[in-house]
A and B are shown apart, each in its own frame.
Chain A
Amino acid sequence: MDHSEIKKLAHLARLEIRPDALDEVAERISNVLTLVDQLQALDTDHVAPMAHPLDAVQRLRADVVTEPDCRAAYQAIAPATENGLYLVPKVID
């Protein structure tokens, strides 16, 4: 992994990597990818991917309201709110 690949990956993950840490991050992520690359030698031609160990499927429920209004409780722990809305920096000029 070179620096540009790491920077692209960091952006996808919405993370920032300090320029002086790029080498170290690249090396360690490369080590992990070398480990997982062992999978490529495995023959999986006729194998179905496993999504749930017990092959469970999504349960359905009656279409009724089950959630109470918890807005005040949830917003009480937010970094910044106003009039029941979450505040973020200006996104439209």
Chain B
Amino acid sequence: MHNLTIAQMIRELRQKTFSSVELTEHFLARIERLDSQYNSFVSITRARALQQARQADARLAAGNAPALCGVPIAHKDIFCTNGVRTSCGSKMLDNFVPPYDATIVENYQRDGVVMLGKTNMDEFAMGSSNETSYYGPVRNPWALNCVPGGSSGGAAASVAARITPACTASDTGGSIRQPASLCGITGIKPTYGRVSRWGMIAFASSLDQAGLLTRTAEDSALLLNTMASFDSKDSTCVDEPVPDYTATLNQSISGLKIGLPKEYFGEGLSEGTARAVEEAIKTFEKLGATVHSISLPHSHIAVPAYYVIAPAECSANLSRFDGVRYGYRCENPQNLEDLYKRSRSEGFGDEVKRRIMVGCYALSAGFYDAYYAKAQKARRLIQQDFVEAFKQVDVIMGPTSPSPAFEFGSKGKDPVAMYLEDIYTIATNLAGLPGMSIPCGLSDNKPVGLQIIGNYFAEAQMLNVAHQFQQNTQFHDLAPAGIQ
């Protein structure tokens, strides 16, 4: 059952090959039996999952169930779930049981999707290796001595290990696409504003976007149909009709214009990754696409601009954690300042504290223009590069990450080495564009991801392009060794 895609599960559930309870029980048993190797789950919601599965079976029997009814998935532990601990990978929220559901969690419940549990992540989504989680690192199913990527590392590892069919995730600078790449699965970050951020714990509000980690593009399309919605509770959500993302999957991509930014194929890109990406491009040419060399001249300032904007917004967002209203509170505070300082110092990990401090610096009196205002201007230039590029091409492609999964601790103690892991994904967030990563080969027996960047609200086109590739290749079917 666990080798089925969600598209296949939907058919089998309707043909009564198995029930949602049987399917859910199968995945729960796999999580309980296998996850000690990966550490990809922080909470398993067995009782709730089986209750939801029974309700789904009743709806399926009644014959009017929504498409996804009865399909089990997991949620990244950044999405608030009513009555289920939502930790965001932090000691600060280790005791936080939200009194409400995130909008996307509600959307999936409405459509009868079963929640298996909550997945591990870098603390407050700050990291590219899942090494900053309060609950310990997640191990990559392809190589247990390597990271799964981050921040949605638990989500990606659990899908790659086939212990969950799909997982919701979030992407602020690459947190869906980079782990998808390192774990050999499919990931989609929609356009900024396409999916509600309400109930998704905020890191950098102008960059954060919810999305999905799945095995195939078709599964992403099925799940995005439910996830995407206009939500008046998120002031930056865009009121744009949601198409049926599965309707255009089978369109021909003959004549598709693919842009290859020369800046994404330069120094720092590993040979194995470059080779796999170039082979993938050749496959697209065989399918009738044409390839065009383009330039995104401000690519080199994306990482510096991001590391002003994201910490600045994070320092503001995380000021709400004060030990007063919810979350961690230090023992025996002497006064209010001591309460704030010790609750925050004991509750946050090192990377989170570092980013809060960098953000405070960038926003402090006398530095605002030199840092934050300057970075917002750089952001405009980065966006204009994409606007110009999309006048010539339909989609942009390149590597998702500079190299395949790396070993734990190998980036050393300098945070900047880790930051460069997202060098190809960050610009997309700064511009608010949608992006995907799909598996396109192996290098040293570890997966390589191809990044597809689309124009604003062109999720259907990206999914069509990815699906056509997957109809003609087998990389998305490859499983890590030992996973049957």
Contact = CB atoms under 8 A, between A and B. Distances in A.
Contact of B345 (A15, A33, A34, A54): A15
Contacts of A39: 301, 304-305, 308, 371, 374-375, 378
Interface in A39-66: 39-40, 42, 44, 47-54, 56, 58-59, 61
Contacts of B315: 13
Interface of A is mostly: loop
B339 A88 contact: yes
Count chain A CB atoms within 10 A of each CB in B307, B339, B356, B357 and give the residue with the most: B357
Given A12-B360, A15-B357, A39-B305, A77 B99 contact: yes
> Chain B, interface size: which category?
35 or more
Contacts of B16: none
Contact of A80 (B329, B354, B360): B329
Contact of A74 (B99, B323, B358, B375): B99
29 contacts: A9-B361, A13-B315, A13-B344, A15-B345, A28-B354, A28-B415, A29-B361, A33-B358, A35-B416, A36-B308, A38-B301, A39-B301, A39-B378, A42-B374, A42-B381, A48-B380, A50-B380, A50-B383, A53-B431, A53-B433, A54-B432, A56-B236, A77-B95, A77-B98, A79-B327, A80-B329, A89-B333, A89-B336, A89-B339
Query: In which size bucket is the chain A interface?
Result: 35 or more
A79 B357 contact: no
A49 B383 CA distance: 11
Contact of B415 (A16, A32, A37, A50): A32
Interface of B: 95-99, 192-193, 206, 232, 235-236, 238, 298, 300-301, 303-305, 307-308, 311, 315, 319, 322-327, 329, 333-342, 344-345, 348, 353-354, 356-358, 360-362, 364, 370-371, 373-381, 383, 413-416, 419, 431-433, 456
Contact of B361 (A17, A33, A73): A33
Given A31-B414, A53-B192, A88-B339, A13 B378 contact: no
Given A32-B354, A77-B96, A42 B301 contact: yes
Contact of A31 (B193, B326, B415, B433): B415
Interface of A: 6, 9-10, 12-17, 24-25, 28-29, 31-40, 42, 44, 47-54, 56, 58-59, 61, 70, 73-74, 76-80, 86, 88-91
Contacts of A25: 354, 357
